[in-house]
Structure formats: structure tokens, C-alpha cells
Chain A
Amino acid sequence: MLTAKDIMTPDVATISGSATVAEAVNIMKEKGLRALIVDRRNESDPYGMVTETDIVYKVAAHGKDPKKMRVYEIMTKPCIVVRPDLGVEYVARLFANARIRRAPVIESELLGIISVSDLLKRGNFTEAPKQLYLEDRIEAARDDARTVCEAKGATSPECAAAWDIVEELQATASHQRSK
């Protein structure tokens, strides 16, 4: 299974929460980045993030002076973080559920950043689309089949159809595992 660390961008730039937004814009322009990670103040402090969207929505849209605004006024901290060994399908689901597009990849320390662009450009979901929770669905289908067979009889067409569903899911699962 492809994981976050396989497709993340390892080059990350950090900035201090007390820096000005103008400084953040400069770093983003210079390095061609869409987000910066906000440094922790100590080991127990959470990570933060400031993105292009934060700057446009909260500074440019209101005509505020980026030289007078500080990163801490517009950053997201704590931000959602991703572990390096999380499967890319789970990263996509997490992003969709949390309505986020980008997150730092962290295990003890900052390892990289992962975004919807990385998922799209370096993920393998076009070649090998992978359904989540297949094992759960197989178990549920098996429960359903047992109930149907008990009610309608072991030789009924309903019973056979219910077990066909289980077999189909198992086939999908073994197909996914082989990729």
C-alpha cells in the first residue's frame, strides 16, 4: 500500500508565528510554496500552518497591510497532521471529511507536507483504485447472508445471491491485496 511518506513533499519551509505576513509571502514566492509550517515554540507545542488561502481570505480580501499583520493572527494551530505510514486512500478520506487540502507529515519531527496535488499527481488511485473498509463490508455481508439463509432456507435463491455478494467482495479484496 502506498503511504503518505511515499508521495509527500519532503522540502518544507517553516516560519515563526511572530513573523509578518509580508515575510511569509516573500518566502512562499521565493520557494514556490503554497503553505508554510509554523514552528513550535517548544517540544510540547503543536504544529501550525499558514496557507495561501489564509493570506488571501484574511489579509488581501480586507485590504489589510501584510507588513503589519503577523502569522499568528491568521494561522491554523493546532493543525491536522498525518503520520508517514498512513495509506494514501486514508489520507484522501481524511482530507475529504475534514475539508482540508494539505497537512504536515509528522512522526516525532516534521518530515514533509502532503497535499491534494501530491495525492493526484503521485498517488496510484487511477491505476489501482482501492476501496476502504473492505474487511468490514465482508463481515457485514457474511452476517446478512447467514440471516437470509436462516429465514429463506439454505437452498433458496435468496441465500445463494447473498453468498455471491460475499464472494464478490472477497475477490475484490484479494485483487486489491495483490497490487
Chain B
Amino acid sequence: MMRAEEIMVRDVVTIGGSATVAEAVALMKDKGLRSLIVDRRSDIDPYGIVTETDIVYKVAAYGKDPKKVRIFEIMTKPCIVVNPDLGVEYVARLFANTKTRRAPVIKDKLVGIISISDILRKSDFVEKPKSIIEAYADEFSSYIGARMYDD
């Protein structure tokens, strides 16, 4: 099974929670990104994320001035994070269940970001579709359900 770290994007750009939305937009345009990770304030602080959708839904749609709105007012923090070892099928299921499209990949620290586009473009779900039960059976061959998939 492919894992999150094999298909994630390693170049991640972060921004401070107190930055303005205008600064975030400039950064996203400049680097061609759809989201930014919000810096932690300390080691025990959770990660946050701000996406294109947050900016359009909460700022542009209301004609608010992006130079006067701050990231902390529109970000998602804490956000759902993914472990780099998580199987891609599990990432897809997690995203579907939580209506998420994008999450930072974290192991002790920020190592990347993974999105539905990465799953679609880089995973092998078309060539090798694998249900969660099969994925589970692969990993734990003693699992009773695994017998169904024995050759």
C-alpha cells in the first residue's frame, strides 16, 4: 500500500496567524499554492491551515478588505493532520469522512502537505483499487477477515 509520504508535497509554506489575508493571497499567488500552514506559537500549540476556500467564503464573499482581516480570524486551527506512514486509502477515507480536501503531514514536525489532487494524480488507486478491509488484511494477516483474500 502506498503511504502518505510517497505522494505528499514536501514544499510547504507557512504563515503567521497574525499576518493579514492580503499577505496570504500574495504568498499563494507568488508560489502557486492553494493553502498555507499556520505556524505554531510553541511546541505544544496545534497546527493550523488557511485555504483558498476560507479566503473566498469568508473575505471575498463579504467584500471585506483583505488588508484588514487577519489569518487567525479565518483559519482552521487545530486542523486534521496526517501521519506520513498512513496508507493512501486511509487518507482518502479520512478525507471523505471529515469532508477535508487537504491536510498537513506531521511527524514531530511539519514534513509536507497532502491533498485530494495528490491522491488522484500520484496514488495507484486506479491500477490497484484496494478496499480498507483488504488494506487492513495486508497489514495484519492474522486478522480473521484476511482469509477472504487468501489466494
Contacts and interface: CB of A to CB of B under 8 A. Distances in A.
Interface of A: 22, 25, 28-29, 34, 52-53, 55-67, 88-89, 92-93, 95-97, 101, 116-117, 119-121, 123, 125-126, 129-132
26 contacts: A28-B120, A28-B121, A29-B121, A34-B117, A52-B120, A53-B101, A56-B116, A56-B120, A59-B125, A60-B92, A61-B95, A62-B93, A63-B129, A63-B130, A63-B132, A66-B129, A89-B60, A92-B56, A95-B57, A97-B61, A116-B56, A120-B29, A120-B52, A126-B66, A129-B65, A130-B63
Contact of A129 (B63, B123, B135): B63
Nearest to B122: A29
Interface residues of B, number: 44
A40 B6 CA distance: 38
A95 B123 CA distance: 29
A64 B57 CA distance: 32
A48 B64 CA distance: 32
A120 B60 contact: yes
A70 B55 CA distance: 34
Contact of A126 (B22, B62, B126, B133): B22
Contacts of A56: 92, 95-96, 116, 119-120
A97 B56 CA distance: 11
A96 B95 contact: no
Nearest to B25: A126
Contacts, number: 115
Nearest to B89: A63
Interface of B: 22, 25-26, 28-29, 34, 52-53, 55-67, 88-89, 92-93, 95-97, 101, 116-117, 119-121, 123, 125-126, 129-135
Chain A facing B: main interface SS: helix
B92 A123 contact: no
Contacts of A28: 120-121
